[in-house]
């Protein structure tokens, strides 16, 4: 009962095909948990199911003891789960700082009147939010890019910006979808350091990754999906030698995703 | 003289209408319903004045308020739809209101409402009571028209200021996020339905106020003042003037209304020009004439830095 | 009485269905709603008018002429406005805005040319009335209903049995895959636009025949109703368009028949019904989830 995220029997069917079939996971607070599997194994679909972007066909998802099935995505974020996207969905025309400020939205209170009539408490809230946003940009190494449009940033920095934006929602669980995609070795190492720092701040991390180097060195535990089903779960060392996992990856190189 | 004052007044009202469409567009939604809200506001204000004797400064906001109240359930029902569906549904809303107004006796049917208390006339009467002669060497009528223009310009200015203020706030960021990527905005904790309905209702309010003003600026309103061509006209102001900055629709309204005054006899020619401009802008300059980039450029050139937050703490908590 | 109104409604509804099919076919292959389609309908009617009233042709040539004229207009639209919209990576609102503008241009050009008033459109038809038990059907109604049904059946046959139809369905499903399979996508798009426009043009002539008049402004009302029908029936869904069109036609007829006081609201019925349905079922009566776009 202490699991931060408890997923049981999670299933999602499209027509006759089950993209996710009977997946169960329990993620403990403070963990860095990896979700791996060949392309098309259903990992991103799992994310979408967990964060409310897609309703499950069956199964339950409990976050901090409360069911989140059927909740709108913004409510899930309110409850403390945040995510990044496989294809990076930043607000391109907004600056890096503004992107992170959007992340702060859920923890601020100013409404229409507050926006127009800037009472002292609204102004305090805004400036605190900006400080926090700058702090997060600093954490991910983007403080200098605060006023640059997000769409103009190089790929690796965009990924980090997306992480900063998700962190601005003050999540307890951060779900990262292939954060190391397209990164070279030194960028991946910086990313791993960043994720460890995030864990130190008290945020539990669930990540989808193809880069085995990242997964093996970063994750406390790993679950392996194939064809929508969980085929193995354990420490990186354990799943590395699991025959079902080896078979699923037969012939595939580890390394960064395309 | 009075003629130019009146043209300028109508430009201000058109500016408010443009802003009403802009507001909804700023959440990424295309609405053709503000002509319908304008109808609601106009008839409400007119009827309140004619039947209940309400003063103009009450009827106009009442018109806006009614429009906003109707907008909430309408928006909640239709804003779950993707952009294309919404445009159609709001167009249907506008057309349904035209049909209804054409048929109800209280709205005067096809003949519309007439003898609506006229703002300029009221002001003129009031002024004659307190002033011996009009200042600035104008006639009393001209001075009254000038005051009407100032009131309309003030309303436009107020609407503009409110939108700019809101745009820089948490609500404004939510609007922009929703417009850019609704799914991502939702994932970042923004209740997209709430904000879309909010923008929709705010736009309806502005359109209702514009309708109320229109009723008191002309002696007569009829259902056909508020149909499809009106809806398209409001949209053209934004498409031409600028879709991403509030100054855009105001510029668009000014340019296009001035143009249409020049082409006054030929309503169909005007609509051909509007239609052609819409097609052209979409292909050649989809953001419209005024873009946010231009404003950023001007700020730089004037030596004003880009908007930065106060230097915050460095790494950390 | 009920049956009579049902017949009246189906007759009118057949024309709505034809217009709606046009919208839905174009949406299927282009993922654009051609807001100018109502004006294509109107121009088809005008061509029919010109052929009958100015050249003295009969019904069938006028119908064919209207269809061909509309199809040609559709081709022009495709080459000028619609194709250009696909080349750029535009937002989903851009085609909407552009085709709204296009529709305004077409409508007002016609108003300049022919005025906005209704023009009498009398087609040589027998004035006989067919009696089937409690029902009466005028020759006009039989023609309109008959032609609509025939066209819809022909369309269905084309879509399901011919190579062209299969290609259209493939492109509607997924244009990229269709291209990989060797389908000439631009050609199919053009053919679909022309086909859709031809159906709209036919509807225009039929409506002109029904109401003994055409006008430059007839496109707006019918265009809007066609749009209401496709939302009801689901975008891209041809059978939904047919069912929706007939349904709206019948609902309108019922309004006229059962409420003297309500008959003026006939034109609002389509949209009021649509709102009620949308509140309950955002995807329309027959459509899939409206919030999910087809390619994502």
pLDDT in tens, A173-224: 999 999 998 888 899 999 999 999 999 999 999 999 988 889 999 999 999 9
- The residues, any chain, with a CB within 8 Å of residue C6's CB and separated by 6 or more, are C250, C253
DSSP string of B148-199, one letter each residue: HHHHHHHHHHHHHHHHHHHHTSHHHHHHHHHHH-HHHHHHTT--HHHHHHHH
Average pLDDT on C50-74 reads 91
Average pLDDT on B183-206 reads 95
Q: What percent of chain B has pLDDT over 90?
A: 57
Average pLDDT on C110-118 reads 90
From residue B136, give the alpha-carbon distance in Å to each of A102, A119, B146.
51, 41, 11
Q: Is B147 on the interface with C (CB under 8 A)?
A: no
If you measure CA to CA, which chain C residue comes closest to B283?
C85
Query: Which residues of chain A are within 8 Å of residue B198 when distances are taken between CB atoms?
Result: 112
Q: Is B83 on the interface with C (CB under 8 A)?
A: yes
- Structure-token pair, residue C85: 């919209």
Nearest to A130 by CA among B308, C120, B115, B159: B308
pTM: predicted TM-score of the whole model, two decimal places = 0.89
Q: What is the DSSP letter of C216?
A: T
Tell me the shortest Cα–Cα distance from C5 to chain B, in angstroms. Answer: 22
Beta carbons of A102 and B174 less than 8 Å apart: yes
Candidates A68, A72, A73: best to mutate against B (most CBs of B within 10 A) is A73
Residue C295 has pLDDT above 60, yes or no: no
Asked whether A231 and A38 are in contact (CB, 8 A), the reply is no
Subunits in contact with chain B (3 or more CB pairs closer than 8 Å) = A, C
B80 closest CB neighbour out of C116, C271, C282: C282
- The residues, any chain, with a CB within 8 Å of residue C261's CB and separated by 6 or more, are none
- Structure-token pair, residue B111: 């003949």
Residue B311 has pLDDT above 50, yes or no: no
- The residues, any chain, with a CB within 8 Å of residue B268's CB and separated by 6 or more, are C108, C109, C111, C112, C116
Q: How far apart are CA A147 and CA C112, in angstroms?
A: 52
Sheet holding A81-83, edge to edge: A81-83, A173-177, A204-208, A32-36, A221-226, A229-234
Residue C55: exposure state from Cβ atoms within 10 A (0-12, 13-18, ≥19): exposed
Q: How far apart are CA C65 and CA B239, in angstroms?
A: 37
If you measure CA to CA, which chain C residue comes closest to B75?
C279
Q: How far apart are CA B22 and CA B19, in angstroms?
A: 5
A115 closest CB neighbour out of B170, B177, B191: B170
Tell me the shortest Cα–Cα distance from B172 to chain A, in angstroms. Answer: 8
pLDDT-derived band at B240 (thresholds 50, 70, 90) equals very high
C268 closest CB neighbour out of B99, B236, B275: B99
> What is the longest distance spanned by two Cα atoms in chain C?
59
Asked whether C94 and B286 are in contact (CB, 8 A), the reply is yes
Nearest to C15 by CA among C124, C145, C128, C131: C145
Asked whether B84 and C30 are in contact (CB, 8 A), the reply is no
Q: What mean pLDDT is reported for chain C?
A: 85
Are chains A and B in contact at 3+ CB pairs closer than 8 Å?
yes
Tell me the shortest Cα–Cα distance from B273 to chain A, in angstroms. Answer: 31
Q: For position C255, what pLDDT does the model report?
A: 84
Q: How far apart are CA C217 and CA C43, in angstroms?
A: 10
Tell me the shortest Cα–Cα distance from B237 to chain C, in angstroms. Answer: 12
Q: For position C89, what pLDDT does the model report?
A: 58
Candidates B187, B191, B310: best to mutate against A (most CBs of A within 10 A) is B187
A105 closest CB neighbour out of B168, B170, B312: B170
Query: Which residues of chain A are within 8 Å of residue B162 when distances are taken between CB atoms?
Result: 116
- Structure-token pair, residue B175: 């609007």
Average pLDDT on B146-154 reads 93
At A132-160, the pLDDT tens digits run: 999 999 999 999 999 999 999 999 999 99
Beta carbons of B95 and C104 less than 8 Å apart: no
If you measure CA to CA, which chain A residue comes closest to B191?
A74
Residue B302 gets the label, from left (phi > 0), alpha (psi -120 to 50) or beta, of: alpha
In chain C, residues 223-242 whose CB comes closer than 8 Å to chain B: 224, 227-228, 231, 235
- Structure-token pair, residue A165: 């934006």
Nearest to C47 by CA among C22, C77, C69, C73: C69
Beta carbons of B190 and A78 less than 8 Å apart: no
Helices (H), chain B: 2-25, 34-52, 56-78, 83-103, 119-130, 140-167, 170-180, 182-187, 192-217, 228-241, 247-262, 267-284, 292-301
Q: Is C28 on the interface with B (CB under 8 A)?
A: no
- The residues, any chain, with a CB within 8 Å of residue A249's CB and separated by 6 or more, are A38
If you measure CA to CA, which chain A residue comes closest to B306?
A147
Query: Which residues of chain B are within 8 Å of residue C39 when distances are taken between CB atoms?
Result: none
């Amino acid at each position: 009962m202490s699991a931060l995220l408890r997923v049981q029997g999670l299933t999602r069917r499209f027509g006759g095909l089950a993209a996710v079939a009977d997946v169960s996971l329990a993620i403990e607070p403070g963990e860095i948990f990896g979700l791996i599997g060949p392309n098309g194994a259903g990992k991103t679909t799992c994310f979408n199911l967990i964060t409310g972007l897609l309703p499950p066909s069956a199964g339950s998802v409990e976050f901090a003891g409360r069911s989140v099935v059927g909740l709108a995505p913004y409510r899930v974020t309110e409850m403390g789960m945040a995510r990044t996207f496989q294809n990076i969905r930043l607000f391109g025309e907004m600056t890096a700082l503004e992107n992170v400020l959007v992340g702060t939205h859920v923890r601020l209170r100013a409404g229409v009147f507050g926006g127009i009539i800037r009472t002292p408490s609204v102004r305090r809230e805004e400036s605190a939010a900006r400080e926090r946003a700058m702090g997060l940009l600093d954490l991910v190494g983007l403080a200098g890019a605060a006023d640059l449009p997000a769409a103009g940033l190089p790929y690796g920095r965009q990924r980090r910006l997306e992480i900063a934006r998700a962190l601005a929602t003050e999540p307890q669980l951060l779900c990262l979808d292939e954060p190391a995609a397209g990164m070279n070795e030194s960028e991946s190492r910086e990313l791993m350091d960043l994720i460890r720092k995030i864990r130190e701040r008290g945020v539990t991390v669930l990540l989808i990754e193809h880069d085995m180097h990242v997964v093996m060195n970063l994750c406390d535990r790993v679950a392996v999906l194939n064809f929508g089903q969980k085929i193995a779960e354990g420490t990186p060392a354990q799943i590395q030698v699991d025959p079902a996992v080896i078979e699923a990856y037969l012939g595939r190189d580890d390394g960064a995703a395309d | 003289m009075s003629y130019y004052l009146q043209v300028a007044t109508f430009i201000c009202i058109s500016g408010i209408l443009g802003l009403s469409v802009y507001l909804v567009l700023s959440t990424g939604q295309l609405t053709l319903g503000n002509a319908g809200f304008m109808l609601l506001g106009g008839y409400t204000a007119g009827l309140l004045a004619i039947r209940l004797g309400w003063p103009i400064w009450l009827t106009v906001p009442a018109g806006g308020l009614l429009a906003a109240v109707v907008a909430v359930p309408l928006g909640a029902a239709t804003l779950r739809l993707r952009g294309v569906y919404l445009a159609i549904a709001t167009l249907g809303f506008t057309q349904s209101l035209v049909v209804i107004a054409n048929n109800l006796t209280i709205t005067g049917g096809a003949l519309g409402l007439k003898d609506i208390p006229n703002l300029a006339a009221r002001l003129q009467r009031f002024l004659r009571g307190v002033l011996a002669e009009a200042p600035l060497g104008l006639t009393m009528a001209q001075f009254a028209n000038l005051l009407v223009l100032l009131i309309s310009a003030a309303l436009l200015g107020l609407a503009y200021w409110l939108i700019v203020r809101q745009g820089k706030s948490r609500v404004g960021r939510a609007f922009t996020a929703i417009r850019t990527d609704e799914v991502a905005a939702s994932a970042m904790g923004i209740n997209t339905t709430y904000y879309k309905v909010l923008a929709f209702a705010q736009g309806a309010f502005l359109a209702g106020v514009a309708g109320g003003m229109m009723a008191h600026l002309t002696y007569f309103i009829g259902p056909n003042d508020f149909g499809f061509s009106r809806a398209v006209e409001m949209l053209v102001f934004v498409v031409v003037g600028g879709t991403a900055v509030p100054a855009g629709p105001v510029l668009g309204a000014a340019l296009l209304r001035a143009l249409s005054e020049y082409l006054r006899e030929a309503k169909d020619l005007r609509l051909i020009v509007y239609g052609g401009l819409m097609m052209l802008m979409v292909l050649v300059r989809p953001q419209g004439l005024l873009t946010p980039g231009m404003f950023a450029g001007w700020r730089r050139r004037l030596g004003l830095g880009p908007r930065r937050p106060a230097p915050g703490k460095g790494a950390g908590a | 009485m009920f049956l009579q109104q049902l017949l009246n409604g189906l007759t009118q509804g057949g024309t709505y269905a034809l217009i709606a099919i046009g919208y839905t076919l174009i949406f299927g292959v282009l993922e654009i709603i051609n807001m100018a389609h109502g004006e294509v309908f109107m121009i088809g009617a005008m061509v029919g008018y010109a052929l009958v009233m100015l050249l003295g042709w009969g019904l069938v040539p006028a119908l064919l002429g209207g269809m061909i004229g509309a199809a040609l207009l559709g081709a022009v639209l495709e080459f000028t406005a619609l194709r250009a919209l696909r080349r750029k990576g535009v937002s989903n609102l851009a085609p909407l805005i552009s085709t709204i503008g296009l529709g305004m241009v077409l409508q007002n050009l016609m108003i300049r040319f022919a005025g906005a008033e209704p023009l009498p459109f009398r087609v040589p038809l027998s004035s006989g009335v067919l009696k089937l038990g409690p029902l009466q059907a005028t020759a006009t109604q039989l023609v309109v209903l008959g032609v609509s049904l025939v066209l819809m059946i022909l369309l269905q046959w084309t879509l399901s049995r011919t190579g062209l139809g299969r290609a259209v369905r493939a492109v509607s499903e997924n244009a990229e895959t269709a291209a990989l399979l060797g389908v000439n996508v631009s050609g199919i798009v053009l053919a679909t636009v022309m086909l859709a426009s031809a159906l709209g043009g036919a509807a225009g002539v039929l409506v002109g025949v029904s109401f003994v008049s055409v006008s430059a402004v007839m496109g707006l009302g019918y265009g809007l109703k066609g749009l209401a029908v496709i939302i009801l029936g689901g975008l891209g869904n041809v059978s939904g368009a047919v069912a929706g069109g007939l349904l709206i036609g019948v609902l309108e007829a019922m309004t006229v028949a059962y409420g003297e006081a309500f008959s003026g609201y006939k034109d609002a019925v389509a949209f009021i019904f649509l709102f009620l349905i949308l509140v309950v079922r955002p995807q329309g009566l027959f459509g899939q989830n409206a919030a999910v776009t087809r390619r994502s």
